[in-house]
Amino acid sequence: RKEVEQDPGPFNVPEGATVAFNCTYSNSASQSFFWYRQDCRKEPKLLMSVYSSGNEDGRFTAQLNRASQYISLLIRDSKLSDSATYLCVVKVPGTYKYIFGTGTRLKVLA
């Protein structure tokens, strides 16, 4: 099992739709999780940190399911500008290292 695994997509959704992605992780001791957004050929930008059961920021909600070892990202009322690749990142417990997933590509269609 990969340390961090994401469905590469693409997820093609119409504007205004709600879309969710999952990210599974292999280390059950992991405590710190992050979602980054990366536009094509540009730098990743932090979207959200998740340290407990979940986090919410406007249209974006992240939820952590420790029993099944996955985190999800829910985007409500999708905008064209949400089109990007979403990277799941898990901190390796007891270290200063972060494992990046390969990303899930989202396309929001007009």
Partner 1 sequence: DADVTQTPRNRITKTGKRIMLECSQTKGHDRMYWYRQDPGLGLRLIYYSFDVKDINKGEISDGYSVSRQAQAKFSLSLESAIPNQTALYFCATSGFRDRDPRSYNEQFFGPGTRLTVL
Give the binding site for partner 1 (CB under 8 A). 4, 32, 34, 41-46, 49, 51, 87, 91, 96-103
Of 4 and 78, which CB lies nearer to partner 1 in the complex structure? 4
- To the nearest whole angstrom, how small is the minimum distance from the Cβ of residue 81 to partner 1? 19
For 59: left if phi > 0, alpha if psi spans -120 to 50, otherwise beta; the answer is alpha
User: Do residues 7 and 104 make contact, with C-beta atoms less than 8 angstroms apart?
Assistant: yes
- To the nearest whole angstrom, how small is the minimum distance from the Cβ of residue 35 to partner 1? 12
SS3 95: coil
Of 18 and 51, which CB lies nearer to partner 1 in the complex structure? 51
Q: How many Å apart are CA 38 and CA 21, to the nearest integer?
A: 15
What is the 8-class DSSP label of residue 42? S
- To the nearest whole angstrom, how small is the minimum distance from the Cβ of residue 105 to partner 1? 12
Of 46 and 109, which CB lies nearer to partner 1 in the complex structure? 46
- To the nearest whole angstrom, how small is the minimum distance from the Cβ of residue 40 to partner 1? 11
User: Do residues 12 and 110 make contact, with C-beta atoms less than 8 angstroms apart?
Assistant: no
